[in-house]
Amino acid sequence: MPSEFTGAWQARGHVAARVRPLDSIDLGIIARHSAKRTNGVIASLKNGTPMRWRRLAERDLMLLLEVDADVVGYHSLPERVEYVLDGKPRRHVPAVGVHTDHGPLVMDVFPDTGEHAPWYRVLAEVVRAIYARRGVRYAVLTPAEVRLEPRFGNALHVLDHRALRPGQGDQLRVVEALTRRGGSATVAELRGMLGDGAEAVFPMALRRALSLDLSAPEPSRIRAFLRAGGLT
């Protein structure tokens, strides 16, 4: 039961654990479980290769990572965490391993409601402690946090422009316009300066040439920022 699991963890304060690459057993378990629910892959522009997801919330997390300029790249189902707790061997495969400008980060998406929510809270506590001993940050979001609006809707709007390939001249004009505005401007302000050329901010952000504030109430009010070394 979750209460017994929690008590054992709190009393012991640590677990015997190791982190290892996925093996055929993990892949078999993932395949069996995935057959019972929605799953698939996304075409990742940031990674240049498809990324596999097991749940819709994991897919949506990856969509946010695609738009985050601080994210250099990420890998879905990066490794397995093995640990022994209450005398039982257990394993967990996180959703994504992320390479950021600030160091490595491992992420999961766990529900915070329903009958299994208490167990997920304990699992998050255990896995966070294991990664902390390795000097790696570990973060858990709920599906509601992943799909928080207006951020998520704005991220989807940005991704709608992933096929655009602005020329070097268009990109330089965006950089010059942002420089004249002190390093940042909203999409609406850039449209007033560049017309349709302002749409280049979205594919530029997807390629980490710019960063975006996705908290704006609508896409035209998304603010773009110059990034040091962003356009090379």
Q: Do 140 and 155 belong to one domain?
A: no
Alpha helix (H) residue ranges in the chain? 2-12, 24-34, 56-67, 117-133, 143-146, 151-159, 168-180, 187-194, 201-206
Which residues partner with 153 through β-bridges? none
Residues 125 and 201 in one domain: no
Tokens of 7: 């008590």
Instruction: Look at residues 99, 131, 146 and tell me which one is the last residue of a structural domain.
Output: 146
Residue 134 and residue 157 in one domain: no
pLDDT truncated to tens, each residue of the chain (232 aa)? 333 333 344 434 455 788 999 888 777 777 777 655 668 899 999 999 999 998 999 999 999 999 999 999 999 999 999 998 778 899 899 999 999 999 999 999 999 898 989 989 999 999 999 999 999 999 999 999 999 999 999 999 999 999 999 999 999 999 999 999 999 999 999 999 999 999 999 999 999 999 999 999 999 999 999 998 665 4
Same domain, 14 and 129: yes
> Which residue, 96, 122, 146, sits at the end of a domain?
146
DSSP β-ladder status, 96-100 and 103-109: antiparallel
Q: Give whole-number Cα distances, 5 to 82, 90, 176, in Å.
A: 16, 12, 57
Report the b/e string of 114-141 with b at 16+ CB within 10 A. eeeeeebebbbebbbbbbeeeeeebebb
CATH of the domain at 204: 1.10.10
- Structural domain contains residue 232: no
Same domain, 17 and 124: yes
- Give the SS3 label for residue 225: strand
Task: Provide the domain limits for residue 191.
Answer: 151-226
Q: CA neighbours within 13 Å on the CB side: how many for 26?
A: 17
Give the three-class secondary structure for 15: coil
Number of domains in the chain: 2
Decide which of 101, 127, 146 is a domain's last residue.
Answer: 146
What's the whole-model pTM score? 0.88
